[in-house]
Chains A and B, each alone.
Chain A
Amino acid sequence: MSGAVEKVRFGFSVNKDRQIDYDANLKNVSDIVQKAEPTFNLCISCGTCASTCTAGKFTDFSLRKVILMVRRGETKGLENEITKCMLCGKCQLVCPRGVSTRNLILQIHKALKTGAL
């Protein structure tokens, strides 16, 4: 312990920015999903899917949000998030834009596994 200055932690740190940095984010998952399930592009963020979703009643899961996060390249933590979906398909019945939601979720899942660099 001879003369070594011990680091004092005051409990301060730099807050992680909440901002979506679109240019810095990777859009590879979005690119893959868009090709694998083109109805991905048709979503108008109406939230009908999320309102009917049973998973959303008990957790903060929302397919509407997942779609937007993929679009913006905000994919961190999404792989875990998407496992909350039970693939029941209720959302597909109610979507006004005909988004093929079940396949979309499967494709997002796949792309997150394989496409995330």
Chain B
Amino acid sequence: MNRKIAVIGGGAAGLEASSALTSLGFRVVLVEKEDETGGHIKNWHALFPNRRPGVEVLDALRSKLGSDVELFSGKTVTEIKPVNDRFELSSADGWKTEADAVLLTTGFSLFNARKKEEYGYGIYDNVITSAELESAFSTGKIAMKSGEQPKRIGFVHCVGSRDEKVGNIYCSKVCCVTAVKQAIEIKQYLPDCEVFCFYMDMRMFGRHYEELYKEAQEKYYIQFIRGRLSESTEDHTGKIILKVEDTLLGKPLKIGVDMLVLMVGMEPAEITKNLGTQLGLVSDSDRFLVSTDQHISANISEIPGLFFAGTCTGPKNIADTLADARSAALAIAGYFDNNHNKS
């Protein structure tokens, strides 16, 4: 009998792990709370660094799911119970299943920009999040509330990340390069629009990210100002006035923009935290799930038979998420190979 693995969450990590597990000979039950798989990438119009459509990656991941993957969508797993050497899982609507091992691929949540009230999200008309800008790119319509085209746009890095005021000390990794990507896209839609990025550090860690940054400067004249926004105000014309320190000149700087884009960071999903508490898993100071060893066994939890992959253990881009998912599949195979309950 083939071992059955329950994969919880059908984002990039869950999709990739499911196909990897089936190619290793496992049966997979993939559970996704939304009607459709794909997770956050569903909402990303184009991906950094090469600006390919997000859907292209998702189609590729979905097409790898063979008939050994049984997909249940529209089901939110709310309970995972270790029983003997197996697991019992149930969803909010009473659906149940059992499995020999469980892989958590429950992903992340976006930082709620309202918590950073001083930036004016939900208060001023033309303050939006990076995720909302991504949706605007899908419709091809970049406009202010009034319907006019913005002549100047500001991007604010590190919104909800690297900020102990909101309880998040960590860096979300993907938002610097997302800002650069989106800044370039703005220039492609609106060539006459001026674009400014307000950053603390430019963390262009991935392959081809630095090149993208250079392209943004060289081809699109995007201006990078090192300084963190303290607050924004709206003037009587609806312009958003920003005050930052131009830290490289050591002087305060005031600038008006028509639209402000907040680069919201990644947070652990509430649902993941609840499952973790229920299972008695320890969480880290950053509230993401904790592996038994950050370097050597990043996919292995403290509970035998329970594994992690993707952004439920911290911010990752897609390539790192997919590599992590394949690595989790191998960790699961290793678990059954070394285990007393080998089939």
* A86: min CB distance to chain B, Å: 23
A109 within 8 A of B: no
What's the tally of chain B residues with a CB closer than 8 Å to chain A?
16
Listed stretches B26-34, B40-48, B64-72, B214-222; interface member: B214-222
Chain A residues within an 8 Å CB radius of B218: 38, 41-42
Which one, B214, B248, B254, contacts A21 given CB within 8 A? B254
Q: How far is the CA of A64 from the CA of B250 in the complex (A)?
A: 13
B252 within 8 A of A: yes
Is A72's CB under 8 angstroms from B249's CB? yes
Which one, A23, A64, A68, A97, contacts B246 given CB within 8 A? A68
Is B223's CB under 8 angstroms from A20's CB? no
Is B253's CB under 8 angstroms from A20's CB? yes
* A21: min CB distance to chain B, Å: 5
Give B208-238 interface residues, CB cut-off 8 Å to A.
Answer: 214, 217-218, 221, 223, 226
Q: How far is the CA of A63 from the CA of B252 in the complex (A)?
A: 20
Is A69's CB under 8 angstroms from B214's CB? no
Known: A34-B221, A38-B218, A71-B223. A45 touches B255 (CB 8 A): no
Residue of B nearest to A65 (CB): B249
Say which size band chain A's interface belongs to: 20 to 34
Q: How far is the CA of A44 from the CA of B217 in the complex (A)?
A: 9
A80 within 8 A of B: no
Give A25-62 interface residues, CB cut-off 8 Å to B.
Answer: 34, 38, 41-42, 44-45
Is A19's CB under 8 angstroms from B217's CB? no
Known: A34-B221, A41-B218, A41-B221. A22 touches B254 (CB 8 A): yes
Give the A-B contact count at a CB cut-off of 8 A.
45
Known: A42-B217, A71-B223. A22 touches B248 (CB 8 A): no
Q: Is the interface of B mostly helix, strand, loop or mixed?
A: strand
Q: How far is the CA of A19 from the CA of B221 in the complex (A)?
A: 23
Is B221's CB under 8 angstroms from A22's CB? no
Chain A residues within an 8 Å CB radius of B217: 41-42, 44
B54 within 8 A of A: no
Chain B residues within an 8 Å CB radius of A21: 254
Q: How far is the CA of A65 from the CA of B255 in the complex (A)?
A: 19
A16 within 8 A of B: no
A18 within 8 A of B: yes
Is B223's CB under 8 angstroms from A19's CB? no
Contact code string B254-270 (vs A, CB < 8 Å = 1, else 0)? 11100000000000000
* B187: min CB distance to chain A, Å: 13
Is B221's CB under 8 angstroms from A72's CB? no
Residue of A nearest to B220 (CB): A41
What is the interface of chain B, defined by CB distance below 8 A to chain A?
202, 214, 217-218, 221, 223, 226, 246, 248-249, 251-256
Between-chain CB contacts (< 8 Å), 29 pairs? A19-B252, A19-B254, A20-B246, A20-B249, A20-B251, A20-B253, A20-B254, A21-B254, A22-B253, A22-B254, A22-B255, A23-B254, A23-B255, A38-B218, A41-B217, A41-B218, A41-B221, A42-B214, A42-B217, A44-B202, A45-B226, A64-B248, A65-B248, A68-B248, A71-B223, A72-B246, A72-B249, A72-B253, A97-B214
The 9 closest A-B pairs by CB, nearest first: A22-B255, A20-B253, A19-B252, A41-B217, A45-B248, A23-B256, A68-B249, A20-B251, A21-B254
Given contacts A20-B254, A68-B246, 10 further A-B contacts (CB under 8 A): A18-B252, A19-B251, A20-B249, A20-B251, A20-B252, A23-B256, A42-B214, A45-B226, A68-B248, A72-B246
